[in-house]
Amino acid sequence: MDETMTLIFTGVGGLLALLSAYGAFKMDRKLFLSGVCYFSLLPIIGETMRYMDPATSSPYTLTLICTFIAQFLLTRPDNNDYGMDNKAAVALATKIGLAILAINLGSAYVILCLDFGVAQQFGYYHLVISLSMLYLMYRRFTGEGISWK
C-alpha cells in the first residue's frame, strides 16, 4: 500500500476505532456498531488491493476478505430494539460479540506479532475494538447488564 493510502487508512481507521470505543463507553449501540461496521471496510479494501497485486496475493487474503465481510454484515447498525428479556436475541448478540472479539484479536495478533506486511497502527486499532468488545462483555456478564441508548 502506498504512503497516501496508508495515511488515509490510518486517519479513517483511528476515527472509526475511537467511535466504536466511545459508543461502547457511552453504551450507544448505534455508534459502537457503526464504528465496527465501517472499520471492517478498511481491511476489505486493503486486502482486496493486496490480492490484486500478484506479488502479494495469497489464499490468506481471500480468507481475510471473507472474514471482514462477515464482520461488516454482522455489525451493520439497524433500528431493531430488544431488551434483556428476549433470551434468543441476547444469546445471538453474545455469539456475535464473541465473533467480533475473535476476529479483531486474531487480526491484532497477526499484524503485531507476525510479519504480515501491514502497518502496526492497524493492529492497535483492532486491539481498541477488541477492548471495547471486552468492556461490553464484562458489563454483560458481571450482572451490570447493558442498557443501550
CB 148 within 8 A of CB 29: yes
Q: CA-CA distance, 96 to 94, in Å (whole number)?
A: 5
Q: pLDDT tens for residues 38-83?
A: 999 999 999 899 889 888 778 888 999 999 999 999 999 887 777 6
The predicted model scores a pTM of 0.88
Residue with cell 455469539: 95
Dihedral of CA atoms 19, 24, 27, 30 in degrees, nearest 10, equals 50
Q: Would you report the helix, strand and coil content of the chain in percent, each value rounded to 5?
A: 75, 0, 25
